[in-house]
Structure 1
Amino acid sequence: MIRLFKHYISYNVVLLSLIDLVLLALAGEAAWRLRVGQIGVSVGNLSDRVLELGGFAGVVWLAMIAVGTYGPEALRSIRFATARLLVAVSLGVLAISLMNLVLPGSALWRSVLLYAMAIAIVALVLNRLLAGRMLGVEAFRRTIVVLGAGERAKRLQRLSQRADSGFAVGGFVAMGDSPASIETAVPRESISDLGQFVERVGASEVVLALQERRNALPLKDLLKVKTKGVHVNDFSSFLERETGRVDLDTLNPSWLIFSDGFSAGRRLSSLGKRLFDIVVSLVILVIGLPLIVVFAVIIKLESKGPAFFRQTRVGLYGQTFQIPKLRSMRTDAEAAGVKWADKDDPRITRVGRLIRKVRIDELPQVWSVLKGEMSFVGPRPEVPAFVVDLEKELPFYAERHVVKPGITGWAQINYPYGASIEDARHKLEYDLYYAKNYTPFLDILILLQTARVILWPDGAR
């Protein structure tokens, strides 16, 4: 895994994305040469169009990130990847065409963009086919040694067997701290030198997966491994890195206190985030106002009652605020008290179902962003009644309120809509990861991938 601004990205994704970026620039150049050759115009100097080619590659590449072409399913299935690539390249080319209307004089003519689009799609699909057949997923996986053979070790074994896993287990070492759940685990007593064992299996990392660490840390073994240049990691930190969430099953206060995260150095980032929220919310409110008005009228025509509704939510540091939304349910939806929306919830109107799918009901929340009660990115704000119940049921739930709530968030792009305590637990793991590892880079990544959730609204309710 490569760590970029406190966020981990697997080597295979980084390598694949860099190759894609180069291929996109080459596709733009090939399209230019093809088109000018057809009309008998001089090709010209590459330096004269290098910015345009870079812009084409960059815009399409960002669109690829946004629609999820580097997600687990896209890396496993060429059919899925091709569908996403078609959408991404089309969106990128459309964005460049719109920019050319504002900034004319670009070498990226519409005919050149059409050729570049076709060449890029073919090149990107071939890149995935060749990478999958020549290298395979295993070529990008790191090898680890797991100290422990209990239930924690079993979880790592299951995680390593996933198609999108970034690591493979070279060996399990039974430390005698608990009954073994891994039949192939090697007893520690049969290994004369753990450092040599780690070198022999070619491991680059050792993960401590003991069931009970108190007074049981194999300090001499860990010191031997560490002095050989092999990274040593604890179970909770390893899971956080590999899954992009904080594992509540193994989380304890001491780990939160001593692990990296919640840095005070992000004050400058928070200022930049607030400036971004103000500028973008003003732009969206101006551009989106006609859309809000149109759907407000449609809502009024379909059912009696106000087009908008306001609901109390819990925000930063547990303070409450009023959140505005376009009404998507009947006016008597909360007559019996607030509750989570179910699949095919009868309280949702026909128009409400549409605006929920495409997230138009969220547009008025931009006003809360402008006021500073929310941000564009952050944990979703919950109803106070839900928060009271969830704080009783879920440990560390209050810690998600150390950052401003958002319209979109890390949990929203990684976990489908949930309407139960168990769903709330899974989403909390992603929210804690965001609160702990927040950086502007992570915000940008979330904003880009929100497009995937909007285009393919599998979890919208």
Structure 2
Amino acid sequence: MKMKRALDLVLVLCGAIVWVPVLTVAALAVLIGTGRPVLYRSMRRIDDGQVVRIVKFRTMVKNAEKLVNRDVVPVENQVRFLNIPADSPLYTSVGRLLERCGITELPQFVHVIRGQMSIIGNRPLPENVMRCLREEYADADDRFLTKAGLTGPAQLVGRDVLTDAERLRLEGAYCRACIQGYSVRLDLAILLATVGIVIGIKKGLDYQGVLDLIERHSRRRRTVEIRRAERALPATVDAAEVAGQ
């Protein structure tokens, strides 16, 4: 999707005046507050066939990944996504602040620049979480029909609010909407809503509200394509008539 890639690059470059200073201050806060390493690296699936070592700010104690992961934590209440509660003692004080401000994923702009991820898309996941999801949901891999992103439809509701089935349905719906006819307006709507929610000027959407958002922009895209086809039809007909004379 060349248009989606172009939007990513435009947003990254134009937004650098904001995200570069924020990233720098956040990195210093982690370094001063909790020491090294500043970044947390983890192997994550980012599309339907690629697993890479992604980076994010370290927001937890240094051995957190050994204490809490889907291989050692049993599935409870049918929740197969591994959602660590915001009040978990594993979070450092600086890390909890970064999470609250939505800054944790900023280092992943490097993956966006490389073309490995998109700004808007479903979050990368560890392979052990994906294996766990596949045990219950045959279509779990549909969430990777498009590249993973820094924020996506599930983040407009909140991962802790959604059931696994609801989250997978939202994520699959977004990917299918992009494949059937990519909409710049949909990605911008998700991005603006995310920013509004993070800075507290917009309330989070509910599950149905996000589904409606995806469908609304998908329908608008289809309408635009139909109108373009209708406008092109007379020219095609005229050309055919001329050719036949």
The Cα of 1:305 is off from its aligned counterpart by: 2.5
| Equivalent residue for 2:186, pick from 412, 421, 442 | 442
Spell out the pairing of 1:322-361 with structure 2 (5 A cutoff): 322-339=53-70, 340=82, 341-361=84-104
Separation in structure 2 between the aligned mates of residue 353 and residue 432 of structure 1, nearest angstrom: 29
The secondary structure found in structure 1 opposite 2:150 is strand
Note if contact 2:145-2:176 (Cα within 8 Å) is conserved in structure 1: no
- Alignment-derived partner of residue 72 in structure 1: none
| Equivalent residue for 2:38, pick from 284, 302, 307 | 307
The secondary structure found in structure 1 opposite 2:64 is coil
Change over 3 Å in CA distance of 1:328–1:458 after alignment to 2: farther
> For structure 2, which runs of at least 5 residues remain unmatched after alignment?
71-81, 205-245
Instruction: Note if 1:431 corresponds to 2:179.
Output: no
Structure showing greater Rg: 1
Change over 3 Å in CA distance of 1:291–1:451 after alignment to 2: closer
Quick check: 331-340 or 390-399, which moved more? 331-340
Identity over aligned pairs, percent: 30
Letter aligned with residue 450 of structure 1: T
What are the superposed Cα offsets for residues 346-396 of structure 1, whole Å, 9 maximum, x if unpaired? Answer: 110111111111111111111111111110111111111101111111231
Separation in structure 1 between the aligned mates of residue 159 and residue 88 of structure 2, nearest angstrom: 13
Note if contact 1:328-1:355 (Cα within 8 Å) is conserved in structure 2: yes
TM-score (norm 2): 0.70
| Equivalent residue for 2:3, pick from 272, 275, 297 | 272
Letter aligned with residue 417 of structure 1: R
Change over 3 Å in CA distance of 1:449–1:275 after alignment to 2: same
TM-score (norm 1): 0.38
The secondary structure found in structure 1 opposite 2:186 is helix
| Equivalent residue for 1:402, pick from 145, 152, 169 | 145
> For structure 1, which runs of at least 5 residues remain unmatched after alignment?
1-269
Separation in structure 1 between the aligned mates of residue 35 and residue 203 of structure 2, nearest angstrom: 29
- Alignment-derived partner of residue 12 in structure 2: 281
- Alignment-derived partner of residue 158 in structure 2: 416
Instruction: Note if 1:454 corresponds to 2:185.
Output: no
The Cα of 1:410 is off from its aligned counterpart by: 1.6
Separation in structure 2 between the aligned mates of residue 425 and residue 395 of structure 1, nearest angstrom: 11
Spell out the pairing of 1:356-367 with structure 2 (5 A cutoff): 356-367=99-110
Separation in structure 1 between the aligned mates of residue 99 and residue 68 of structure 2, nearest angstrom: 21
Separation in structure 1 between the aligned mates of residue 203 and residue 90 of structure 2, nearest angstrom: 19
Greater relative contact order (Cα 8 A, min sep 6): structure 1 or 2?
2
| Deviating 4+ runs (over 4 angstroms) | none
Note if contact 1:380-1:407 (Cα within 8 Å) is conserved in structure 2: yes
Change over 3 Å in CA distance of 1:282–1:406 after alignment to 2: same
Spell out the pairing of 1:136-151 with structure 2 (5 A cutoff): none
- Alignment-derived partner of residue 296 in structure 1: 27
Letter aligned with residue 58 of structure 2: R
What are the superposed Cα offsets for residues 395-431 of structure 1, whole Å, 9 maximum, x if unpaired? Answer: 3101111111111112221x21239xx7322110101
Separation in structure 1 between the aligned mates of residue 110 and residue 44 of structure 2, nearest angstrom: 14
Q: What is the root-mean-square deviation in Å for CA atoms of aligned residues?
A: 2.1
Change over 3 Å in CA distance of 1:382–1:274 after alignment to 2: same
Note if contact 1:365-1:407 (Cα within 8 Å) is conserved in structure 2: yes
What are the superposed Cα offsets for residues 186-222 of structure 1, whole Å, 9 maximum, x if unpaired? Answer: xxxxxxxxxxxxxxxxxxxxxxxxxxxxxxxxxxxxx
Change over 3 Å in CA distance of 1:275–1:322 after alignment to 2: same
- Alignment-derived partner of residue 317 in structure 1: 48
Letter aligned with residue 306 of structure 1: P
Change over 3 Å in CA distance of 1:389–1:458 after alignment to 2: farther
> What count of residue pairs does the alignment treat as equivalent?
187
The Cα of 1:337 is off from its aligned counterpart by: 4.6
Note if contact 1:285-1:366 (Cα within 8 Å) is conserved in structure 2: no
Separation in structure 2 between the aligned mates of residue 302 and residue 458 of structure 1, nearest angstrom: 31
- Alignment-derived partner of residue 84 in structure 1: none
Separation in structure 2 between the aligned mates of residue 275 and residue 313 of structure 1, nearest angstrom: 24
Separation in structure 2 between the aligned mates of residue 306 and residue 342 of structure 1, nearest angstrom: 22
The secondary structure found in structure 2 opposite 1:334 is helix
Note if contact 1:307-1:327 (Cα within 8 Å) is conserved in structure 2: yes
Separation in structure 2 between the aligned mates of residue 343 and residue 356 of structure 1, nearest angstrom: 8
The Cα of 1:277 is off from its aligned counterpart by: 0.9
Spell out the pairing of 1:187-202 with structure 2 (5 A cutoff): none
The secondary structure found in structure 1 opposite 2:41 is strand
